[in-house]
Amino acid sequence: MYFTTTRRKTRKDRIHIQFFAQVLKKDLSQGTVYKYSVQRFCEAANICRGTFYRNFKNLNDLFSQVLQFEINSCFNNPQSSTLHKKAHNLLIEIETNATYYRNVHSLASSQIRTQVDQALFREMQKLLFNSNLSNKHIQSISSLILIRILDWIAHDYQDNVITVYTDVECLFLHHIKKSC
């Protein structure tokens, strides 16, 4: 498994999760999906159910690992050097693939929110390790950012990316001022 175990992530693990992420994104970008099954994913990925269950516990585990992979990929993109640029790129990615993220949001259980929140926290922690912010502050910021993004998706992207980005930046700046 990619993120749910404590073993070191190998190149093979990253290639597998990248493949699964591409398949899931392609399959869930076709239109609104009200039900999704392991069988449907296996058909889209051209794998057997045994292969699926060797890599994931269930569909929520698939969603969780793919979202964590996407956060990790977005934050480790060499073209964006600052936290602000990385956050903006993440929002652009979500807006560009709105149908996919809307489907994942509606299909996944709320239990994966904690895992996605932790992935966002870990990436922000790496970027802010030289700041005056404590881990508690970084966790608060990442949780609030995730809540804002989930609200944006849940309300069918009524706000544009700039509005959401401005909200995220205000949350970030508010916490920096509080920590000084």
> Which residues 6+ apart lie within 8 Å of 121 measured at CB?
138, 139, 142, 143
Tokens for 82?
Answer: 């600052």
Q: With bands split at pLDDT 50, 70 and 90, how would you rate the model's confidence at 171? A: confident
Q: Which of 69, 60, 66, 57 is closest to 24 using CA atoms?
A: 66
Q: With bands split at pLDDT 50, 70 and 90, how would you rate the model's confidence at 1? A: very low
Q: With bands split at pLDDT 50, 70 and 90, how would you rate the model's confidence at 78? A: confident
95-147 pLDDT per residue, tens? 999 999 999 999 998 889 999 999 999 999 988 888 888 899 899 989 999 99
pLDDT at 26: 97
CA 149 to chain centre: 10
Residues in the chain: 180
What is the arithmetic mean of pLDDT over 28-45?
96
**What whole-number percentage of the chain has pLDDT above 70?**
89
Tokens for 125?
Answer: 């922690």
Please give the C-alpha separations between residue 88 and each of 19, 85, 113, in angstroms, as whole numbers: 24, 5, 20
Tokens for 4?
Answer: 């749910």
Tokens for 133?
Answer: 């912010």
Q: With bands split at pLDDT 50, 70 and 90, how would you rate the model's confidence at 84? A: confident
In SS3 terms, the chain reads as CCCCCCCCCCHHHHHHHHHHHHHHHHHHCCCCCCCCCHHHHHHHHCCCHHHHHHHCCCHHHHHHHHHHHHHHHHHCCCCCCCHHHHHHHHHHHHHHCHHHHHHHHHHCCCCHHHHHHHHHHHHHHHHCCCCCCCHHHHHHHHHHHHHHHHHHHHCCCCCCHHHHHHHHHHHHHHHHHHHC
CA end-to-end span of the chain: 40
